Amino acid sequence: MSISKSVKNNMIAGSYIRKMFEEGIALKKVHGDANVFDLSIGNPIVEPPESFNRELHQLVNHPQPGMHRHMEDPGYVSTRLAIAAQLSSKTGVKFRQEDIVMAFGAAGAVNVAFKTLLNPGEEVISFTPNYFEYENYAENHGGVVKYIPADRDLNPDLEALSATITSNTKAVVINSPNNPTGHVYTTRTLQGVAEVVLRRSAELKHRVYIISDDVYSTLYFGQGACPRMVQYYPHTIVVTSYSKDLSLPGERIGYLAVHPQCEDAADVVKGLVYANQVLGFINPPASMQNAVRNLQNSSVDIEIYRLKRDFLYHNLTEMGYSIVKPLGAFYMFPSSPNPDDEVFVQELKQLLVLTVPGHVFKAPGYFRMSYCVDDRVIEGSLKGFKTAIAKYK
């Protein structure tokens, strides 16, 4: 075999969403673009805010000497200062620029965090449904993921969390708003997770970190600011990017933020910087670091996503689909009318509606749809959804 067994095996599961995307392209060639309704991939069609375009124009029209060279290893001080100020304002935690490390998007940031924390065989706990790449990212660095299914309301099982944390546990990953469900953990839930992890850390005399994947925290439909784990647990490492709030997934720009009260915070930051280097990231794109510096309080219009969510949720529940209404992100995670979610997703595909089965996210019996698409796609998909569920009534 020319490639490793682990890569070959992981390619099968990890490529499912990309496979659906490619099948959508093939179906469009046969049936026409207007007749295929692809809700399979979270690739937002909303354009970046105009403020981002202004920053790009400023960089292009008024270039500064050295703006395309390597910079300080953690990233530009000015950009990290701006991020620290915004994070402090949003969370109430007093971040400093030295707590921030720039990263190649949230995916790069998670890999850097795992590389920094994990010894071979150490465990990361993740609640399911979850972002399916966590397992691959942990495996990249010798780690193992332990899964805890959420309850029927998509909230963490705190008793299971307590029982799963052992002296071999290095970190717990929290993703809220969540991919694939759009679910948002309440303040009470996050406090409960923090209390369990603090208690078990004390009992085991072993520090367990929380990695908070906050990539969708700006896309929040509730009142006020989105509750965030870093507000309740001092040993938190935030990983995030500008892919969703500024609609820049292709630019691969994000950061890590270490809670200033984190145990050995300075060493953790040094480890993140080193991991950035040895993973080959070196410095995230200089142009993007300059571009996002002044955009810490900018975002796409989240009302666009709220309206899409409301329209889709109303129509699907009217048809009989069971859904926990998402409070953030741009995903919906209905129960599959057929317990075999793979079969149901294939039935939808026959009706030219593309979704992703829940088993990809360690949650069989559900399916995911991404509504970060044109309204035409959402509206056009309704006929297929109605036809598909009719046989199960």
Sort 35 into a burial class: Cβ within 10 Å, 0-12 / 13-18 / 19+.
exposed
Give 265-293 pLDDT, tens digit per residue.
999 999 999 999 999 998 899 999 999 99
Spell out the SS3 assignment of 159-184: HHHHHHCCCCEEEEEEECCCCCCCCC
How many domains would you assign to the chain? 2
Question: Does one domain contain both 78 and 210?
Answer: yes
Instruction: Name the packing angle between helices 133-140 and 105-117 (round to 10°).
Output: 40
Question: Does one domain contain both 192 and 320?
Answer: no
Which of 261, 292, 323 finishes a domain? 292
Q: What φ, ψ does residue 213 adopt, rounded to 5°?
A: -85, 100
- 169-175/123-128 β-pairing: parallel
Question: Does one domain contain both 106 and 223?
Answer: yes
Which of 292, 323, 340 finishes a domain? 292
Distance CA 283, CA 273 (A): 9
Q: Is residue 210 part of a domain?
A: yes
Q: Is residue 55 part of a domain?
A: no
Question: Does one domain contain both 234 and 316?
Answer: no
Supply the pLDDT for residue 12. Answer: 63
Average pLDDT per block of 10 residues along the chain, 393 residues long: 74 68 81 90 92 95 91 96 97 97 96 97 97 92 96 94 98 97 97 98 96 97 94 98 95 97 94 95 92 96 97 98 97 97 96 95 96 96 97 86
Q: Which domain holds residue 343?
A: 5-48+300-390
Question: Does one domain contain both 124 and 266?
Answer: yes
Q: At 33, which CATH number? A: 3.90.1150.10
What the block records as the tokens of 86 is 């915004």
User: What string of DSSP letters covers 348-391?
Assistant: HHHTTEE-EEGGGGT-TTBEEEE--S-HHHHHHHHHHHHHHHHT
Q: At 240, which CATH number? A: 3.40.640.10
Give 113-132 pLDDT, tens digit per residue.
999 999 999 999 999 999 98
End-to-end CA distance of the chain: 48
